[in-house]
Each structure stands twice: as structure tokens, then as C-alpha cells.
Amino acid sequence: MTRILVVEDNADLAYGLRNNLEIEGYQVDVAEDGPEGMAKARRNPPDVMILDLMLPGADGFRVLKTLRDEGAGFPVLILTARGEETDKVRGLKLGADDYVTKPFGVLELLARVEALLRRAHPGGNGTKESREVFRFGEVEVDTATRTVTKAGREVTLAPKEYDLLLALFKRQGAVASRIDLMTQVWGYSAAVLSRTVDTHIAELRRKLENGSPEPKHILTVRKIGYRLQS
């Protein structure tokens, strides 16, 4: 059974999330603060974590950064009551895969969770993705194991960073618009933060091209989008 870990200190909201997720057939665990959320995620990694940013003990940013630094690869959906774009961008840069701003509709949240699960488990429909290894510069990507190495050393990518890199590769050098990338990688385009793609591209460049101001492989096509050059 698919497991969801909800890290939320508002007891009423946590109760409502748990009920609605369980109605959809998910197994749900709840943590009331940051340290408890990290402990539960380490002990039994969930299929998806729903993480509030405003938490006692350790806020959601710290929880997210700590788990990603430790190598946790499960998708994370952040909940924020803040409307400021900078907080959402910060969460995405720390490794979050998506966000929902409070107040939110239950149907919207369930759709986001389902989209994250589809991306995290692309073979869940019974099909099996063929193995492929591709390279550009010093970077090598093994699609069977979702392993990325640079100059022989493994590079840890957040799930959406990997999916974005793969989406660019599948274009075989052709330009992909931001809308195309949002639709393909995040599963929808309407409610995604406009800077989401740009933020993830910046992280890929930082990890795979040393943050060079003149990247050689992950290229910007002005006013359109991005393309990957081998």
C-alpha cells in the first residue's frame, strides 16, 4: 500500500488530510513537528511526504534540507501559508517537488499527490522503461537505476531535477518550452509556479556544470525554453 507521511502541527488540518488520504486508499502516518517528521521519514521512508513549512522544533526548510542531504529521494509536497514567491522558490531549491498554498482544496492536493506518485513510479502501470545510458560532457545518466555521475562521481539529484534532465535529453537537442517542460515533468501546467522550471534548471547547472555563467550543455533558448547539447 502507498504510504504518505504528513508532517503538520495543526491537529485539525492533519486530521482532515489523514481522513481524505485514507479514503483514497493511502496508508497515512502523521508527525506533529520537524524532528518527529525526520525520524519517521528515516525509519520508514514514505512514498510521498506532505510537509508544512511552519513547524515547531525544526521548520520545513530544515527538515527538507536535512533529508535531501542524507540522500532521501522520495517526493516532497510542501504546504505553506505564505504567499511570497521567495518561500516557494526556496523550498523548490532545497529539493521539494511541488507546493500547495493554504488554504487549498482537497481535490487539488490529491491531484498533486497522484501526479508525484506517477512521476516517482513511472512503471507503476505495468510497463517497463527500457534501459538507456546517455552522456554529455563529463556527465553520465543511467535511466534504469536513475543514477547520475559526473567525472565518475555520483551526483544526487532531486526527483524533479532528474525528471527535468531526462525530459531535455529525450528532445535530442531540440528546444523544449517552459510550458512543455512543466506539463511533461510536473504533469500539469496551470497552477505551477512560473519560475519552477528555471529554478530546477539552475540547480542542474550548479550540480552538473559547476554553476558556470556560460553553460556548455544545458542551454537557454531566449524567450522559448531550454535544450540539452551533448
Q: Where are the domains of the chain?
A: 3-120, 133-228
Q: How far is CA 103 from CA 56, 106, 108, 157, in A?
A: 20, 10, 11, 30
Grid cell at residue 44: 520508514
Q: What digits encode the pLDDT tens for the residues 11-36?
A: 999 999 999 899 888 999 999 999 99
pLDDT at 120: 74
Q: Which of 50, 60, 58 is nearest to 100 (CA)?
A: 50
pLDDT at 82: 63
Q: What digits encode the pLDDT tens for the residues 158-172?
A: 878 888 898 898 888
Q: pLDDT band at residue 126, thresholds of 50, 70 and 90?
A: very low
Yes or no: say if 96 and 78 are a contact pair by the CB < 8 Å rule.
yes
| pTM, two decimal places | 0.60
Q: How far is CA 195 from CA 144, 178, 179, in A?
A: 29, 9, 11
Q: What digits encode the pLDDT tens for the residues 95-119?
A: 898 888 888 888 888 888 988 888 7
> CATH topology for 3-120?
Rossmann fold (3.40.50)
> CATH topology for 133-228?
Arc Repressor Mutant, subunit A (1.10.10)
Q: What digits encode the pLDDT tens for the residues 53-97?
A: 999 999 999 999 999 999 888 999 999 876 667 778 888 888 898
